Amino acid sequence: MVVAAGRPIAPPPFAGGDPSGREGLLSAPVRWPRADAFERPLSALRGVGPTYEGLAAEAGVKTINDLLWRLPGTYADAPDRRLLGDLQPREQASVRVEVASSRRVRVRRRGLSVVEAIVVDDSGRRKAVWFNRHWVLDQLVPGRSLILEGRLEKKGFVVSDHQLIDDDTVTTAACGPPRPPGLEDEAPRARHSAGGEIGPARWRRWVWQACQAAGDLGDPLPSRLLAGRRLPAASDAIREAHFPSSQESSAIARRRLAYEELFLHQVVLAGLRSNGSLRRERATAIDGIPAISAGWLEQLPFRLTDDQRAGIEQIGADIGRPHPMRRLLMGEVGSGKTVIAIWAMLRAVESGRQAALMAPTEVLADQHVSTVSRLLRGSSVKVGVLTGSSSPAERERVLASLASGEPSIVIGTHALLEKPVEFGGLSLCVIDEEHRFGVRQRDRLDRKAPRGERAHVLHLSATPIPRTLSLTSYGDLEVTAIRQLPSGRRSVETRLVDEADRAEAFQEVRAEVARGRQAFVVCPLVEESEKIQARAAGAEAERLRNGEFADLEVGLIHGRMSAERKQVAMSAFESGKTDVLVATTVIEVGIDVPNATVMVIEGAERFGLSQLHQLRGRVGRGEFGGCCLLMSSSGSPTAQRRLSALVSEPDGFRLAEIDLEMRGEGEVTGTRQSGLPRFRLARLPRDSELLESAREDLDRLLGEEGGLDAPVFGPMNQVARHRFDRTGAIR
């Protein structure tokens, strides 16, 4: 029995033999061997010859399996019959009528045939029209009753599907005529449509036949899994989805099929993670005594959040194995990722190994150096720095130390990737803001591990990726999300300011500065050109220096400045010498100045939701709280909705989800843009919860069965191979 939300629902009508005896009356249902059932061509069905096979192929349906998985789009409630006199123009409707007269209409256009009939019911009469179905003329005998489905157009009621009714319809239906449930049935009816030239009635007959044999396809999912989620077996679900016995049961059927798709996709991804080449590669198991790391955690001036603890546990388990870890640690700016990364690096050092932390920019590398030095103050752990602006002497010293294999931490930029940088015992790489590095670059660092080994890699990202996306998109990475912010951290108050009110916004900045605080002014995203943006930022700084902020210290930072000048600008801001820092999006990541409390973002509607959230994360990092003023002119309604979401939602993960929903909304292509895979039936992010369940169930099954090699995964892998390619992409 199928149960949803605690309410029992009638079992699918055909489960375990048909009580109505329909099955018995069917003349020899199609049977085929299970092994090649997936690839069985459509012509295996009765009534499908080469012509129809060709037409169906044009509609993308080549095999029985394709046919079964082409689920009807909507369901019409059968009892919802209309009267001819009540029909509204272009309304999709079903009517029960009698034929008064009929004729074939002569048309000029080749390849077009038209049959017309005058049909009547109690409310009156109308013209009904059939296109390209000349054979219906024979059925349209005056006085016959039929049910028509279609739409009222200018030229008449255009019929998309019809069914003849005999006077004894009710009785014949009850004793089970060997034909699919049709228009006269009381159950909701699927609107089958092949598109193209195959009529829905014919399509439905094929599907019906195929469904008779669907049991032979077997069920890729083990029954205990289905029982746990109260989902029906595959063949029942397929049948219910095509020929529903009630709205509820068809919804459950679809849910089951969507779950199957998501589950099998997770199976493929799990294969990529564990059976992938990395499993065969070796890494040093970092399992030394926690001589430094445990005490270090103890002495931190704060309590770790639960998410931080969980992250530490997972990473500890990963790096303790002799195979390379590939984990993505993502969490909002300030959620405490660096603390976890430092802990992991300490584990490497206390196990006699080396760890490297690579940041995408010098500004960020410098920030890490200061954070790490601050948090490791008083410990004896060696920390080296290697960036493009390291002095030659410093560089020599660090290179020699790394080559010697002396246990230590090194922090740097791309400079770490250069040839002369050799490690004697690299076993852990932490890569900050991984999306800023090319894949090739990020792969190069872990190859500097001792010969025959790869290093463990921990990626840090402050860009929250919705779980929906991370669950379906990172074949090769395990993901740990830190959703909690350390307690006491307040969210940034965010407001929309019309460009016309900019004077007020700047007044607010002045007020903050008067209180001893500092501010950012972020220049609009002009184009994807750093040069143009740099120029715009320069002009804005100049304008403010001579205008609104003439009496304040205005600094400038942008991507086109030399590392040295950026450093000077940053230090001036950090030390409080500059009151207002005019910036481009270079400040998006990493900048940590607790005294900065207000940010004005100009042309806010031009930025993406995640980017705006990243930007505002630069203020309110200290005890004074923070405020972000989004300046925008008009912008499209979508842009306005984006900005409103930012005003009301402080959680970056939720915002990322909202962003995804907005981009995925309605549009089919939107889903592509969002990076979410498209399935035949499952829709993300709508079915996120189902995806979550599938992943949870798979993890449990893997735990119980010991791995993907267990026999229970055999049928799943077989079916999955038909649906997804080796990378997990949908075929």
- Does 361 bind ligand ADP (CB under 6 A)? Our answer is no
Tokens of 649: 């939602």
Residues 6+ apart with CB under 8 A from 250: 75, 188, 190, 240, 241, 244
Place of tokens 């998985």: 69
Q: Which does 336 bind (CB under 5 to 8 A by kind): Mg ion, ligand ADP, none?
A: ligand ADP
- Does 309 bind ligand ADP (CB under 6 A)? Our answer is no
Tokens of 646: 């930012």
- Does 584 bind ligand ADP (CB under 6 A)? Our answer is no
Q: Which does 367 bind (CB under 5 to 8 A by kind): Mg ion, ligand ADP, none?
A: none
Nearest-approach distance from CB 293 to ligand ADP, in angstroms: 15
CB closer to ligand ADP, 374 vs 451: 374
Question: Residue 146: phi, psi to the nearest 5?
Answer: -155, 160
Taking CB under 6 A as the criterion, the residue among 65, 335, 533, 595 binding ligand ADP is 335
Q: Give the count of alpha carbons within 13 A of 343, CB side only.
A: 24
Nearest-approach distance from CB 332 to ligand ADP, in angstroms: 7
Nearest-approach distance from CB 427 to ligand ADP, in angstroms: 22
Site size for ligand ADP (CB under 6 A):
16
CB closer to ligand ADP, 264 vs 340: 340
Nearest-approach distance from CB 621 to Mg ion, in angstroms: 11
Place of tokens 């820092």: 581
Nearest-approach distance from CB 224 to ligand ADP, in angstroms: 40
| C-alpha dihedral (566, 567, 569, 574), degrees to nearest 10 | 140
Give the integer Cα–Cα distance in Å for 597 and 658.
26
Interface ranges with Mg ion (CB under 5 A): 338
Q: Which does 331 bind (CB under 5 to 8 A by kind): ligand ADP, Mg ion, none?
A: ligand ADP
Amino acid at 320: G
- Does 333 bind ligand ADP (CB under 6 A)? Our answer is yes
Fill in the per-residue mask, 146 to 175: x = in contact with ligand ADP (CB under 6 A), - = not in contact: ------------------------------
CB closest to Mg ion, residue no = 338
Nearest-approach distance from CB 315 to ligand ADP, in angstroms: 14
- Does 334 bind ligand ADP (CB under 6 A)? Our answer is yes
- Cβ-contact 405, 425 below 8 angstroms: yes
CB closer to ligand ADP, 449 vs 593: 593
Give the integer Cα–Cα distance in Å for 311 and 482.
8
b/e string for 394-411 if b means 16 or more Cβ within 10 A? Answer: ebeebbebbeebebbbbb
CB closer to ligand ADP, 485 vs 557: 485
C-alpha closest to that of 555 among 516, 620, 600, 545:
545
C-alpha pair distances (Å), 19 with each of 23, 174, 188, 291: 9, 11, 19, 71
Q: Which one of 56-64, 238-246, 298-306, 672-680 is the stretch in contact with ligand ADP (CB under 6 A)?
A: 298-306
Amino acid at 470: S
Residues 364-383, interacting with ligand ADP (CB under 6 A):
371
CB closer to Mg ion, 338 vs 351: 338
Nearest-approach distance from CB 338 to ligand ADP, in angstroms: 3
- Does 339 bind ligand ADP (CB under 6 A)? Our answer is yes
- Does 305 bind ligand ADP (CB under 6 A)? Our answer is yes
Tokens of 174: 């009850």
Nearest-approach distance from CB 662 to Mg ion, in angstroms: 27
CB closer to Mg ion, 341 vs 521: 341
Nearest-approach distance from CB 668 to ligand ADP, in angstroms: 36
Residues 6+ apart with CB under 8 A from 55: 194, 196, 197, 198
Give the integer Cα–Cα distance in Å for 632 and 491.
21
Where does residue 352 fall: left (phi above 0), alpha (psi -120 to 50 degrees), or beta otherwise? left
Query: Mapped to the 3 state alphabet, what secondary structure does 707-721 carry?
Result: CCCCHHHHHHHHHHH
CB closer to ligand ADP, 309 vs 686: 309
- Does 620 bind ligand ADP (CB under 6 A)? Our answer is no
C-alpha closest to that of 416 among 390, 439, 434:
390
Q: E strands of 286-403, at which residues? A: 326-331, 354-358, 383-386
Nearest-approach distance from CB 225 to Mg ion, in angstroms: 40
Taking CB under 6 A as the criterion, the residue among 324, 336, 652, 685 binding ligand ADP is 336
- Does 411 bind ligand ADP (CB under 6 A)? Our answer is no
Nearest-approach distance from CB 375 to ligand ADP, in angstroms: 6
What 8-state DSSP symbol labels residue 378? T
- Does 337 bind ligand ADP (CB under 6 A)? Our answer is yes
C-alpha closest to that of 622 among 580, 574, 578, 565:
574
Residues 199-258, interacting with ligand ADP (CB under 6 A):
none
- Let me know if 669 is exposed, middle or buried by CB neighbors in 10 A (0-12, 13-18, 19+): exposed
Nearest-approach distance from CB 537 to ligand ADP, in angstroms: 24
Fill in the per-residue mask, 470 to 509: x = in contact with ligand ADP (CB under 6 A), - = not in contact: ----------------x-----------------------
CB closer to ligand ADP, 114 vs 304: 304
- Binding footprint of ligand ADP on the chain (CB under 6 A): 302-305, 308, 331, 333-339, 371, 462, 486
